[in-house]
Structure 1
Amino acid sequence: MVNDTISDFITRIRNAILVRHKIVQTPATKITIEITKILKAEGFIEDFEIFEQSSKQFLLIFLKYKDFGKKPSINFLKRISKPGRRVYLNKKNLPKTIGSYGIAILSTSSGIITDKKARLSEIGGEILLYIY
């Protein structure tokens, strides 16, 4: 049993990218499914599937590479808010990412959303992770 499912999720993706795997399998939870949907919508991954094995749900994430499989689309993943230190930001202090390339994923009262949608909705929340 993993205490921090988001950190486990990020670590599995980061390790798969380091060894140039095309597919990574992670345990499926509500929050990891929502983060994966955002990654697909923003173009960081190709696709994902949810499957069940021995009454447990898993995510199969198909990673995306550029330049004929040489460079990964995800260059940087960092967990910000951790179980030991939660980081909350109001609408005025939302993070700025590098140009329009990277995103920050937040947990808000409206669900798991990107920093761009949080700015448009004018809401703050717990900042989960950065992705470039």
Structure 2
Amino acid sequence: MSMTDPVADLFVRLLNAGRRAHPTVGIPASRLKANILSVFQAEGFIQSFEPTTINGHPGLEVKLRYHPGREKKPILGGIKRVSKPGHRIYVGKSDIPRVMGGLGVALISTSKGVITDSEARKNGMGGEVLCYVW
């Protein structure tokens, strides 16, 4: 069965694994997913990720981060997919959104790769708004 939105599948896998307090989660690999995960790692939402093989296919093994304490509450609180395959959302450099008043992060796909909203504002770049993360 073909998947219509692999990026949304990445987000759902990360959120579901975090809710079930799994230490790691396996995800089918792609270059865009690796770029998104590298931004998540730089922003502190995940611990790390590394390429692996899942059932003979290339994949990514993601180590999740949790708040310190007795119960395992994931650092990754929520993700909202903005630009979808049927409806792409593009913004200019002056229209880059702020997520939760600056507490969250918007991921923007630009010609220089996937970057955060603050980096896009600093570099004066617009692009496709992939998601909001908090």
| TM-score tier after normalising by the smaller chain length | over 0.9
- Spell out, residue by residue over 1:21-69, the C-alpha distance to the aligned partner (whole angstroms, 9 max, x if none): 1111100100000000001111011111111345521111111000325
CA contact (8 A) 2:108 2:129 kept: yes
Among 87, 103, 106, which residue is 2:105 paired with? 103
Give percent identity, aligned residues only: 38
SS at match of 2:37: helix
Length, aligned pairs only: 132
- Taking a change above 3 Å as real, the CA distance of residues 57 and 100 of structure 1, as seen in their structure-2 partners, is same
1:45 maps to 46
2:78 maps to 76
2:6 maps to 5
2:22 maps to 21
Distance in 2 between residues matched to 1:4 and 1:92, nearest whole Å = 28
User: Structure 1: any 5+ residue segments left out of the alignment?
Assistant: none
Distance in 1 between residues matched to 2:102 and 2:121, nearest whole Å = 14
CA RMSD of aligned residues (A): 1.4
SS at match of 2:36: helix
SS at match of 1:93: coil
SS at match of 1:65: coil
Deviation at 1:100, TM superposition (A): 4.2
Deviation at 1:107, TM superposition (A): 0.7
Q: Which amino acid aligns with 2:63?
A: F
SS at match of 1:86: coil
SS at match of 1:91: coil
SS at match of 1:39: helix
Distance in 2 between residues matched to 1:55 and 1:70, nearest whole Å = 31
Distance in 2 between residues matched to 1:56 and 1:107, nearest whole Å = 26
- Spell out, residue by residue over 1:74-100, the C-alpha distance to the aligned partner (whole angstroms, 9 max, x if none): 111110000011101101110112244
CA contact (8 A) 2:76 2:133 kept: yes
Deviation at 1:101, TM superposition (A): 3.0
CA contact (8 A) 2:25 2:61 kept: yes
CA contact (8 A) 2:46 2:64 kept: yes
User: Structure 2: any 5+ residue segments left out of the alignment?
Assistant: none
Deviation at 1:102, TM superposition (A): 1.4
